[in-house]
């Protein structure tokens, strides 16, 4: 017997979800509707910004739904009228109710940015970097009403490079997610997917990021600080204080050595970057952004604002 998957509804919102929708279209799947978040005001001008998924859907003349509420009978009936065989979700941005998840004959599957049961929650990619993981991956999951607790359908791992930020890793994960989804759909059609229960004892959480996490504690090891800087890039961006202003740091590298200087001390400042003492090892930072300024290389920054070695960042 072959599962009928002739009509798919896609639910997703940010850039991470775009390659998944594109993969469905490239595979000639019949995406009958796309559900995405409402347009939001963005930037200083508060101009309405369209979700990236909406832009792609409209370029292919796919009907787009942008409900403000999804736990209503009206919305459920709207989805029912599209008669989907399957719902595919990738970073939609809301918890979906049971009646919606179970409406299609084949239910709802999700492209999740971690190797479940690790990193259940809203920020799995960022948390993997913040915690110093060496690998992560994509899970295709049969959704249930829990927070990423559904059965695992397919997984593939991905190596995290030492210079990966949340932005660069998310881009690679998004592409992998699209490819793995198509593999899962092909197997689902042939009834060759074997759902696997998650081991809840191995589960870890990936809560949303908070701005309060962004301040650098120089007493921590350089490796931890490097993970913080990369994990919070592009948001909310790790920072330290200097002369009463914040200074955001980017492109970190751990330099081995046992500092004799107090944590946060600037030990070197030249075209190669800022060398800063930490609780263990040194941290070399190659790009910065001062308060009210733009992101730039340390070389460019120092030409306009020289820094004296011996100063301490983060000192209050």
- pLDDT tens digits, one per residue of 251-285: 999 999 999 999 999 999 999 999 999 999 999 99
Same domain (yes/no): 231, 154: no
Rg from Cα positions in the chain? 23
Q: Is the pLDDT of residue 85 over 90?
A: yes
Same domain (yes/no): 187, 271: no
**For a pLDDT cut of 70, what percent of the chain falls above it?**
99
What was the pLDDT predicted at 41? 85
Q: What digits encode the pLDDT tens for the residues 116-125?
A: 999 999 999 9
What are the residues facing 38 on neighbouring strands?
none
Same domain (yes/no): 121, 243: no
Same domain (yes/no): 52, 169: yes
CATH number of residue 24's parent domain: 3.40.50.170
Give the total number of structural domains in the chain.
2
Same domain (yes/no): 233, 185: no
Token readout for 82 is 């599209």
Q: Is the pLDDT of residue 48 over 90?
A: no
Measure the N-to-C terminal CA separation of the chain; round to a whole number of Å.
69
Same domain (yes/no): 282, 261: yes
Q: Contact 259/265 with Cβ under 8 angstroms?
A: yes
Domain boundary among 202, 225, 248: 202
Q: Which residues contact 30 (CB under 8 A, 6 or more apart)?
A: 6, 7, 8
Q: What digits encode the pLDDT tens for the residues 185-212?
A: 999 999 999 999 999 999 999 999 999 9
Q: Is the pLDDT of residue 1 over 70?
A: no
316 within a domain of the structure (yes/no): no
CATH number of residue 282's parent domain: 3.10.25.10
Token readout for 230 is 């990369």
What was the pLDDT predicted at 43? 72
- Write out the residue range of the structural domain in which residue 107 sits: 8-202
Domain boundary among 202, 222, 251: 202
Q: Is the pLDDT of residue 316 over 80?
A: no
**For a pLDDT cut of 90, what percent of the chain falls above it?**
94
313 within a domain of the structure (yes/no): no
Q: Would you mind telling me the total number of residues written for the chain in this entry? A: 316
Phi-psi region of 203 (alpha: psi -120 to 50; beta: other; left: phi over 0): beta
Same domain (yes/no): 152, 183: yes
Same domain (yes/no): 116, 257: no
């Amino acid at each position: 017997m072959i599962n009928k998957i002739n009509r798919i509804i896609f639910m997703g919102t940010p850039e991470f979800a775009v390659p998944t929708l594109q993969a469905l279209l490239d595979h000639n799947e019949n995406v009958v509707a796309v559900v995405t978040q409402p347009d939001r005001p963005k930037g200083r001008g508060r101009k309405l910004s369209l979700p990236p998924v909406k832009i792609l859907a409209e370029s292919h003349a796919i009907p787009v739904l942008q409900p403000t509420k999804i736990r209503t009978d009206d919305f459920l009936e709207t989805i029912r009228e599209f008669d989907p065989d399957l719902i595919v979700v990738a970073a939609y941005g809301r918890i979906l109710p049971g009646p919606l998840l179970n409406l299609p004959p084949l239910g709802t599957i999700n492209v999740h940015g971690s190797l479940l049961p690790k990193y259940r929650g809203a920020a799995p990619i960022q948390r993997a970097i913040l915690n110093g993981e060496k690998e992560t991956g994509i899970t295709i999951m049969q959704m249930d009403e829990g927070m990423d607790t559904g059965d695992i359908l397919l997984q593939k791992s991905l190596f995290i490079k030492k210079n990966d930020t949340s932005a660069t890793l998310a881009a690679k994960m998004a592409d992998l997610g699209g490819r793995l989804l198509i593999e899962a759909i092909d197997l689902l059609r042939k009834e060759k997917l074997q759902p696997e229960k998650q081991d809840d004892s191995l589960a870890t959480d990936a809560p949303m990021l908070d701005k309060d996490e962004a301040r650098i504690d120089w007493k921590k090891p350089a490796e931890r600080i490097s993970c913080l800087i990369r994990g919070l890039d592009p948001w909310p961006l790790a920072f330290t204080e200097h002369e009463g202003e914040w200074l955001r740091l980017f492109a970190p590298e751990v330099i081995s050595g046992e500092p004799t200087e107090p944590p946060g001390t600037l030990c070197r400042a030249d075209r190669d970057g800022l060398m800063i003492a930490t609780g263990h090892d040194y941290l070399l930072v190659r790009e910065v952004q001062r308060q009210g300024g733009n992101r730039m290389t340390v070389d460019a920054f120092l030409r306009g604002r020289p820094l004296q070695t011996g100063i301490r960042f983060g000192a209050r």
